[in-house]
Amino acid sequence: MPKLLAVRYRLFEFEESAAIAAANDETHHFNGELVLSFEDSTDVFVSWVNAPVQHSIGTQSTSYFISDATLTDHDVSGTGMWSGLVGHDVSLEFVAPDNQILAVASSKDRLLLCSFERGHWWADVVAVCRESPAAYVALGA
């Protein structure tokens, strides 16, 4: 994929702590979606979905939410969590056959996006972490 230029979290009210956690390079989750913007003007929206299995991670070229959803954009491009990816060519690859974990990787860094919250896979969230949750450690190692 081309160079990643920006990352935005589209958060619901009271989810601003996710942007703070990204700044502090801490694992975090939120109910909205994130947008990866590339130098070729492509945007990739990432959110929790219910296919191919319930509560997996999906990507598409438009928002997952209706136009009047109360989401607020937060630019997290310059945060500690995303600093090793923004400005670099990145790849997007599912590291499990059930689309539970999407790896966003550059030659310098890697983040994992999954639908995992408080020790459970059955969550309508996007979790951002550096290491695979326990059930998938062998896949991400």
The confidence band for 138, taking pLDDT boundaries of 50, 70 and 90, is: very low
Q: What proportion of the chain, given as a percentage, has pLDDT over 90?
A: 67
User: Reduced to 3 states, what is the DSSP secondary structure of residue 23?
Assistant: helix
Q: Which of 129, 133, 138 is nearest to 27 (CA)?
A: 129
**74: part of which helix (H) or strand (E)?**
strand 72-75
Please report the pLDDT score of residue 50 as a whole number: 85
Q: Which amino acid is at 51?
A: A
Nearest-angstrom CA–CA distance, 91 and 77: 17
Beta-ladder partners of 38: 4
Residues with Cβ within 8 Å of 138's Cβ and at least 6 positions away in sequence, in order, are: none
pLDDT tens figures, 40-50: 999 999 999 98
Q: Looking at the 3D structure of the chain, how many domains does it have?
A: 1
Q: What is the DSSP string of 81-137?
A: TTTTTTTSB-EEEESSTTS-EEEEE-SS-EEEEE--BTTBS--S-EEEESS--GGGH
Q: Is the pLDDT of residue 133 over 90?
A: no
pLDDT tens figures, 59-97: 999 999 988 779 999 999 999 999 999 999 999 999 877
Query: What's the mean pLDDT when you consider all of the chain?
Result: 88
Token code pair at residue 96 = 């499990």
Q: Is the pTM of this model over 0.75?
A: yes
Q: Which domain holds residue 28?
A: 4-140
